[in-house]
């Protein structure tokens, strides 16, 4: 996945209210995991940069699988050499996955 498509998927994820009655939780999670898998690949190829104070991206998957619904952890990433446009991916308290822009264009 290229970075433009990734940004489109992030917008799609953020247009969904996962708490709405008519929303498919499976669809929300499917988009989140698509974004996550794309980020893993981009991280391995050096396409994205992750804030040096954060753990690696694989740590987030461990939290989703092992630590239950109360854990909260997020980290910041950006396309390499585009540090002015940052995004945040993570798991909020009660286990809600997030991926959203931190800055505007």
Judged by average pLDDT, the poorest of 15-19, 33-37, 88-92 is: 15-19
What average pLDDT does the structure give for the chain? 84
pLDDT at 17: 80
Higher local confidence (pLDDT), 33 or 17:
33
15-49 burial, b at 16+ Cβ within 10 Å, e below that, comes to eeeeeeeeeeeeebeebbebbbebbbebbeeebbb
- The pTM of the full predicted model, rounded to 2 decimals, is 0.83
Segment 29-50, tens digit of pLDDT:
899 999 999 999 999 999 999 8
On the question of pLDDT at 105 being above 60, the answer is no
Which residue reads 């050499």 in tokens? 81
């Amino acid at each position: 996945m290229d970075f433009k498509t990734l940004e489109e998927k992030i917008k799609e994820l953020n247009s969904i209210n996962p708490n709405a009655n008519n929303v498919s939780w499976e669809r929300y999670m499917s988009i989140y995991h698509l974004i996550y898998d794309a980020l893993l690949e981009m991280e391995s190829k050096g396409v994205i940069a992750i804030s040096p104070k954060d753990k690696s991206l694989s740590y987030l998957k461990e939290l989703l699988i092992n630590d239950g619904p109360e854990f909260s952890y997020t980290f910041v990433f950006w396309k390499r050499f585009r540090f002015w446009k940052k995004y945040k991916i993570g798991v909020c308290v009660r286990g809600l996955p997030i991926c959203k822009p931190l800055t505007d264009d």
